[in-house]
């Protein structure tokens, strides 16, 4: 492995280890997403159809991701370890990539609970819907790791993060819902791939500026 990949691997392992020890984020996300689906059962009138159910699934997924993103930089804030990481000679974008991958892992674990629960409660999931979820997850974590680092620099981080994140997530929701309910999901999946590429490159290139002076 190259040096960059080794740095990223060390950072991801650190986050996974912290989560394994504290068991805070993933259980909270899993319980939250189930609770949201139950709430939707009551919020959704009878006979609303599968499209409405898919729409609500996406609302649940985005808000669950938001829950995880809000916690993503907490370990770095306590004890100001972000300073330690910034000082290390590794490329700063490795810090972003490590955080994105760790967040993606948490989100994927929560969705391992959420998607079967959705299929059980509401509608069976198709392959294209799952592909949409996977592609949207990448975008959510790539953008989310950056904007949550931005929000963490301010005083009102918990307030600002959802405000910043939701407008950025709207294209992902469009792509996700489109790939769930359209008969020809190809263009929506392609759109998600483009979003992931564009915003990953942008986040990768700009992360250093967000965490340094």
Partner 1 sequence: MIQAAEIEKRYGRAWALRKTSFELAQNGFLLVTGANGSGKTTLLRMLVGLATPTRGSLAVAASRAQVGYVAHDPLVYRDLTALENLDLYGRLYRVPQRRERIGMLLERFGLWDARDQPVSAYSRGMTQRLALCRGLLHDPSFIVLDEPFTALDEAGAELLDRELTALVGSATVVVSTHDPMRVAPLATARLALT
Partner 2 sequence: MGVALAMVFFVAPVDADQGISQKIFYFHVPIALTSYICFGTGAWKGLRLLWTGAERYDLESYTAIHQGTIFGALTLITGSIWAKASWDRWWVWSEDQLVLFLVLFLFYCAYFMLRFSIEPGPRRERISAVYALFGAALIPVSALAIRLSQRFIHPVVFTRHGPGMTHTQFAAFCVCWVAIAVLAYVMYRIELVGKRSDAQLQDLREAVAT
Binding interface with partner 2 (CB under 8 A): 51, 146, 150-151, 153-157, 159-160, 163-164, 166-168, 170-171, 174-175, 177-178, 181-182, 187-188, 191, 194-195, 198-199, 202, 206, 209-210, 212-213
Residue 18 in the binding site for partner 1 (CB under 8 A): yes
Residue 90 in the binding site for partner 1 (CB under 8 A): yes
Indicate which of partner 2, partner 1, none lies near residue 10 (CB less than 5 to 8 Å, by partner kind).
Answer: partner 1
Among 16, 44, 63, 75, binds partner 1 (CB under 8 A): 75
- For helices 157-181 and 186-211, the axis angle rounded to 10 degrees is 160
Least Å from the CB of residue 82 to partner 1: 9
Least Å from the CB of residue 179 to partner 1: 38
C-alpha 68 chain-centroid distance = 7
In the complex with partner 1, which residue's Cβ is closer, 174 or 210?
Answer: 210
What is the token pair recorded at 183? 């008969």
In the complex with partner 1, which residue's Cβ is closer, 14 or 174?
Answer: 14
In the complex with partner 2, which residue's Cβ is closer, 32 or 191?
Answer: 191
Among 1, 2, 21, 46, binds partner 1 (CB under 8 A): 21
In the complex with partner 1, which residue's Cβ is closer, 22 or 112?
Answer: 22
Contact indicator for 135, 193 with CB cutoff of 8 Å: yes
Q: What is the DSSP string of 31-46?
A: HHHHHHHHHHHHHSPT
Pick from 135, 127, 126, 119: nearest CA to 188: 135
User: Which residues, including other chains, have CB under 8 Å from residue 10's CB and lie 6 or more apart?
Assistant: 98
Residue 183 to residues 129, 166, 180, Cα–Cα distance (Å)? 11, 27, 9
Least Å from the CB of residue 80 to partner 1: 4
Indicate which of partner 2, partner 1, none lies near residue 127 (CB less than 5 to 8 Å, by partner kind).
Answer: none
Rounded-to-integer distance, Cα 204 and Cα 109, Å: 24
Residues in the chain: 213
């Amino acid at each position: 492995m190259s040096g960059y990949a080794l740095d990223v691997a060390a950072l991801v392992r650190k986050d996974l280890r912290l989560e394994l020890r504290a068991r805070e984020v993933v259980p909270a996300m899993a319980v939250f997403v189930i609770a949201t689906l139950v709430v939707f059962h009551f919020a959704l009138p009878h006979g609303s159809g599968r499209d409405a159910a898919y729409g609500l699934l996406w609302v649940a997924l985005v808000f669950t991701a938001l829950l995880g993103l809000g916690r993503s930089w907490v370990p770095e804030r306590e004890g100001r370890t972000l300073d330690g990481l910034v000082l290390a000679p590794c490329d700063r974008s490795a810090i972003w990539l490590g955080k994105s991958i760790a967040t993606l892992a948490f989100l994927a674990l929560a969705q391992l609970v959420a998607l079967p629960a959705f299929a059980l409660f509401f509608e069976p999931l198709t392959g294209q819907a799952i592909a949409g979820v996977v592609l949207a997850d990448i975008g959510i974590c790539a953008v989310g790791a950056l904007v949550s680092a931005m929000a963490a620099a301010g005083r009102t981080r918990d307030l600002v993060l959802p405000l910043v994140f939701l407008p950025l997530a709207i294209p992902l929701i469009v792509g996700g819902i489109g790939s769930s309910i359209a008969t020809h999901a190809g263009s929506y999946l392609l759109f998600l791939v483009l979003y992931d590429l564009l915003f990953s490159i942008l986040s990768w290139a700009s992360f250093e500026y967000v965490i340094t002076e």
